[in-house]
């Protein structure tokens, strides 16, 4: 089970990075999947770091882990989880469309991505730095 | 107090054109669109059930309630509905891991998806015949 979450973490890391690079050109469906995948990534990071080998997800433990290890972004992760719930239940309703768009343009999103990428793997941190350099070069700054 | 019947009616009306549009050419849908088709299809069935049952609460109904509705009113699609529920969980829990992706792709290519789409009037038998004819012409048969 632990291998499963480690594998999941790695698969999602690659995918999230790939999606983030094209954030501006993302279609609605991709934004939704990015949000679902980001939540999955955080949950997998929680499973791996807490060595939860049976895969049982406990929301109270998850929340206390968030507050303990990721205090600076914990309230934003709760916001992310609200948007996830909206996507799961109302993915094509106008309310969901505006929630998803709002989340994707949320100015805390880069900080959240950085927080979890830097936690999971050192090489992810390196990739994110490369990503930051690439985008700043692209924007000419 | 919110009129939940009107709420679900509106939801059904909004989801249907999106689903019809996505179902027109399933084979050319990208992976993200396939995932959203699955989420949207489940929500559509859930909303039809809630609308027809004239729910007085807008809380999401339990999957067992929806299953009972499908069994009662749309029994030819019951088996396919069970598969849809399973695949919907893959979308929200593992859309970017290899096994999850395969389950999703297989379901979208399956007869089970077609059974649901026809049962709920999203595609008609005539549409399907047209699609099969086009496919066989392309295949040179």
- A12-48 per-residue burial string, b: 16 or more CB within 10 A, e: under 16: bbebbbebbeeeeebebbbbbbbbbbbbbbbbbbbbb
pLDDT at A138 over 50: no
Q: Kindly report whether the global pTM for this prediction surpasses the value 0.95.
A: no
Residues 29-88 of A with CB under 8 A from B: 29-30, 32-33, 36-37, 40, 84, 87-88
Q: Which residues of B touch A91 (CB under 8 A)?
A: 36, 39-40, 43
First to last CA, chain B: 59
Mean pLDDT of A110-123: 67
Q: How far is CA B76 from CA B58, B72, B81, B85, B125, in A?
A: 28, 10, 10, 16, 15
pLDDT at B133 over 80: no
Q: In terms of CA atoms, which chain A residue is nearest residue B45?
A: A89
> Are B96 and A15 a contacting pair at CB < 8 A?
yes
Contact status of A90 with chain B (Cβ, < 8 Å): yes
Q: How far is B40 from chain A (nearest CA, A)?
A: 6
pLDDT confidence tier of residue B131, bands split at 50, 70 and 90: low
Give per-residue pLDDT as tens, B13-55.
999 999 999 998 888 899 999 999 999 999 999 999 988 888 7
Give per-residue pLDDT as tens, A1-17.
667 777 777 777 777 77
Q: Which of A12, A84, A92 sits opposite B40 (nearest CB)?
A: A92
Average pLDDT, chain A: 79
pLDDT confidence tier of residue B140, bands split at 50, 70 and 90: very low
More confident residue, A137 or B104: B104
Contact (Cβ atoms closer than 8 angstroms) between residue A9 and residue A45? yes
Q: In terms of CA atoms, which chain A residue is nearest residue B92?
A: A36
**Per-residue confidence (pLDDT) for residue A56, from 0 to 100:** 83
Which of A23-27, B11-15, B135-139 bottoms out in mean pLDDT, i.e. has the lowest?
Answer: B135-139
Return the H-helix or E-strand segment holding B94: helix B78-94
> Are A33 and B97 a contacting pair at CB < 8 A?
no
């Amino acid at each position: 089970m632990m291998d499963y979450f480690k594998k999941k973490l790695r698969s999602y890391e690659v995918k999230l990075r790939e999606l983030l690079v094209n954030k501006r050109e993302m279609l609605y469906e991709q934004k939704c999947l990015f949000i679902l995948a980001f939540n999955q990534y955080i949950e997998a990071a929680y499973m791996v770091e807490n060595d939860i080998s049976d895969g049982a997800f406990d929301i109270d433990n998850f929340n206390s882990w968030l507050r303990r290890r990721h205090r600076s972004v914990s309230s934003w992760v709760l916001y992310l989880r609200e948007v996830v719930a909206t996507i799961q239940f109302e993915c094509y309703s106008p309310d969901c469309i505006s929630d998803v768009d709002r989340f994707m343009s949320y100015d805390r999103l880069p900080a959240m991505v950085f927080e979890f990428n830097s936690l999971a793997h050192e090489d992810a941190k390196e990739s994110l730095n490369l990503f930051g350099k690439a985008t700043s070069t692209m924007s000419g700054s | 107090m919110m009129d939940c019947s009107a709420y679900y009616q509106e939801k059904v009306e909004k989801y249907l054109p999106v689903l019809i549009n996505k179902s027109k050419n399933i084979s050319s849908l990208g992976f993200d669109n396939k995932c959203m088709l699955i989420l949207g299809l489940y929500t559509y069935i859930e909303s039809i059930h809630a609308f027809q049952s004239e729910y007085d609460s807008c809380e999401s109904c339990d999957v067992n309630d929806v299953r009972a509705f499908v069994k009662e009113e749309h029994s030819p699609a019951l088996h396919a509905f069970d598969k849809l529920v399973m695949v919907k969980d893959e979308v929200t829990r593992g859309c970017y891991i290899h096994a999850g992706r395969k389950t999703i792709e297989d379901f979208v290519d399956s007869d089970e998806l077609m059974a649901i789409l026809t049962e709920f009037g999203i595609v008609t038998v005539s549409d399907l015949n047209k699609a099969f004819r086009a496919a066989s012409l392309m295949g040179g048969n």
